[in-house]
Amino acid sequence: MFMVISYLLVNYCEKTGLIGITSQGSENGREKKREGTNSKLSLCLSLCSQNSSAPIHQSKGTSSFEIHFVVNCRSLFLYLLSIKKMVENASRTNLTCRRDVDIEEASIDDVPVQKDSEYYDDDGRVKRTGTVWTTSSHIITAVVGSGVLSLAWAIAQMGWIAGPTVMLLFSVVTLYTSSFLADCYRTGDSKVGKRNYTFMDAVSTILGGYNVTFCGIVQYLNLFGSAVGYTIAASISMMAIRRSNCIHASDGKNPCHMSSNPYMIGFGAMQIIFSQIPDFHNMWWLSIVAAIMSFTYAIIGLALGIAKIAETGTFKGSLTGVSIGTVTGAQKVWGVFQALGNIAFAYSYSFVLLEIQDTIKSPPSEVKTMKKATKLSIAVTTAFYMLCGCSGYAAFGDSAPGNLLTGFGFYKPYWVIDLANAAIVIHLVGAYQVYAQPLFAFIEKEAAKRWPKIDTEFTISIPGFQPYNQNIFTLVWRTVFVIITTVIAMLLPFFNDVLGVIGALGFWPLTVYFPVEMYIKQKKIPRWSTVWISLELLSVVCLIVTIVAGLGSVVGVILDLQTYKPLSSFY
């Protein structure tokens, strides 16, 4: 209730001019000036708003009660923002565009920040409040997403022995490298060293040079690929809702085949509109809804798998997975490689860990808390993945669908399946924006540097609403981006293949290479020492896994294209 009141107060003050907003869409920024600001009220409300990372300055005459109110208010927003950064995306996506919107704070600039008080951390920001339990919940929220839907298919490619074993190995590697990343939150001393607030901050501070460029390229490609993948997944789920109702109405007599193109176009049209809403991806409720939706469809998928096993009374599947004869030897190999990419996608979340760690209070040190939370969250996540993947494989055996909820392994109860697919669509509508907005900001910032006049806005008057400022370049560029991702999705509507490509693209560089290299540099591990050789060997092995996973997924696309006519997908 307190958070809702605070949020409404902030919105009221923005509309009435009590606080001002500076938009940094260009190099110089665009300021909306407000007059008649009351110092204390502006201080309190601006601190309760989205710029939770800025330090608090105590104006003359501000009481300790007011500061205490501010701290409590901002703590709630810190918690919400930490959840926002973790959505399957999220967040995964702040990169260097962390401060798209800043709040002007009413303060006396020459009053020093009270770093030693009970309200501030050593960097001048409001004291962080995260614990092992809150951090674990954030990580679990970041991990669980649409990747869980393909795990039954991935296990089917490898069988009862190799499938769960590979999932365990991925979890161990992720746990190991996540602990390295936790050590990189502070540069130098683990207790008082300089904080690295994001993954990109750590790469830039510790490694620098070409590594920063490489990291940026990989992250932006990952964001673009995720936007394409989410378009495919959302359209398939929308189509699945209609198809399941059609099958139910015909008592299963009509296969109800239909094209996915209208649904992709509809999803793209929604994203064009949402892309023009300022800071749509920063709305506090968006991440909460997305988290609820992701757990909803994941739990429904798990429950349906268990119910299917109980109905048949048998465990299906084999020790080696899909047998040669059902598929060719080459198809078997490529299927296993593609399954590696799908599992990698499910575990590709390391680059949000530093942002989660930035919410942890100290003492004890952030590193200790983060490592405990990582162990707990990966254990819970792996157990959940095992349940979902293994129950799906036990229910359907080697014929497990690529997407557990849209491959129509389940027909009844149809309303539960519709609910799960609706949850997927709602989740992915927001997740698309969470992944696309950093790309929008990056291109718009670079364009403003080269062509300053491109930043000019025009005002649109909407009856009953405040005037809306629109930039022509933003309108055109964001629309073109959505159109491109939609067209690519229509040309390559292959859920598992695209998931495998995205997983292969991001797993080795973001989950293994950068954490390992930063750890080596941070701890000053001597070259050719036993530890150095072991870490580099781990990195090389994971690189090989990433390469074969990528090859398997690309070959999967090529094989699908042999029987698929572009823009003519039917399910």
Phi and psi (nearest 5°) for 30?
-125, 120
> Which residues sit opposite 21 in a β-bridge?
32, 103
The pTM of the full predicted model, rounded to 2 decimals, is 0.71
Determine the CATH number of domain 133-562: 1.20.1740.10
Task: At 532, list the tokens.
Answer: 């150095």
Residues of the chain with pLDDT under 50: 1-115
Give bridge partners of residue 488 from the DSSP assignment.
none
Q: What local confidence, expressed as pLDDT, does residue 117 receive? A: 60
Between CA 299 and CA 388 the distance in angstroms is 8
Task: Enumerate the domain spans of the chain.
Answer: 133-562
Whole-number Å distance between alpha carbons of 481 and 476: 9
In whole angstroms, give the CA distance from residue 421 to residue 146: 11
The reply to whether omega before 401 is within 30° of 0 (cis) is no
Q: Give me the pLDDT at residue 287, please.
A: 67
C-alpha–C-alpha distance, residues 139 and 67, integer Å: 30
What is residue 462's predicted lDDT score, i.e. its pLDDT?
73
- Integer angstrom CA distances of residue 302 from 114, 202, 297: 50, 37, 9
pLDDT tens-digit profile of 410-428? 566 778 888 988 988 888 8
List pLDDT tens digits, range 430-440: 888 877 888 88
What confidence score (pLDDT) does residue 46 get? 39
In order, the DSSP letters of 383-408 are HHHHHHHHHHHHHHGGG--SSTTTS-
CA distance 519 to 524: 8
CA atoms within 13 A on the CB side of 401: 14
Tens of pLDDT, residue by residue over 157-197, are: 999 999 999 999 999 999 999 988 888 888 877 777 888 88
Spatial separation of the C-alpha atoms in residues 310 and 395, rounded to whole Å: 9
Instruction: Give the relative orientation of helices 414-450 and 284-312 as an angle to the nearest 10 degrees.
Output: 150
